[in-house]
Structure 1
């Protein structure tokens, strides 16, 4: 495995399990089995490493949710939870830990959330048509359902995603009526 890939994989796992601020650079070097010199050579520092991890996670997540229907979206979310775990949204956790005060991280987080909402809107347009009134409100509602389900999955497991899916289906049926 390439050094950078090994580092990013180890860092994402630690950040996800322990949090960003609680994960020390020493823990990162140990997990990636590299010297601190090599770590800094590849990252430049912790903030840059967090940013790189979030960008890589965004790419993986957006790829898995590149689907055409609301059912496929929730199937993808179930699959994501099975492979990545149910510890809440890593982007929202990063935002919470930094208080939104680290500009380069906030930019990555908000870009991810904007792309996620755009994907939800695209899916909804395919489901109900782009000419429906309150399309952005429907997208907001489904986004909030998903974000809430992601947080609730921490203690409820996949049932939280199933409940959000059922609510989203009802919202879409209502929008079609």
Structure 2
């Protein structure tokens, strides 16, 4: 029963934090929406910080799995790298897209909560490492990987602010240009 309650609390917290913001959602609202008593909520997660950290860990795991599953469909290494931007395009078109939950968490809590800041930094570093692996598979350099990761990060922020899912296509076009130039220079 505790695993079911833990899952319900996490699912509810993730949805509320993403829709309304981490600071805007109090424990009472979370308790009410999750359908648990305040005592049960605090029994599973002793503090809001514990819930926030669990939500970020859950988001990281899901993001990594979904991105890898999406990219695994493409056998060509260069197109696999460009698939990052196709993945982003699909995400940007979802009805509930509100930008990167990690960037949102950092913006709201990162300056006050070092654990949140560290979790966000690790998530972003993990993404950069994944991009570096993909770029290495196609014969690209670490410098190219860093540039492509920055383009993807910028696309997430720009799409959230502009509410324009076409930003992913613009980022993909920029990535194609960089990849072409980098691979031509290496030949």
Does the alignment reach a TM-score above 0.5?
yes
Spell out the pairing of 1:134-145 with structure 2 (5 A cutoff).
Answer: 135-145=141-151
1:94 aligns with 2:96: no
Aligned equivalents of 1:118, 1:4: Cα separation in 2: 30
Spell out the pairing of 1:151-166 with structure 2 (5 A cutoff).
Answer: 151-154=157-160, 155-166=162-173
Task: State the shift of 1:82 in Å.
Answer: 4.2
- Residues 85/138 of structure 1: CA separation in 2 closer, same or farther (3 Å cut): farther
Q: 1:121 is matched with which residue? A: 132
Structure 2: gaps spanning 5 or more residues: 72-76
Structure 1: gaps spanning 5 or more residues: none
Assess if the C-alpha contact under 8 Å between 1:89 and 1:150 holds in 2: yes
Spell out structure 1 runs of 4+ moving beyond 6 A: none
Assess if the C-alpha contact under 8 Å between 2:110 and 2:116 holds in 1: no
Q: 1:55 is matched with which residue? A: 57
TM-score normalised according to structure 1 size: 0.89
1:83-108 deviation digits (Å, cap 9, x = unpaired): 58321111111111124331221221
Aligned equivalents of 1:11, 1:166: Cα separation in 2: 36
Count matched residues. Answer: 172
TM-score normalised according to structure 2 size: 0.85
Name the Cα RMSD after superposition: 1.8
1:106-128 deviation digits (Å, cap 9, x = unpaired): 2211111111000111111122x
1:149 aligns with 2:172: no
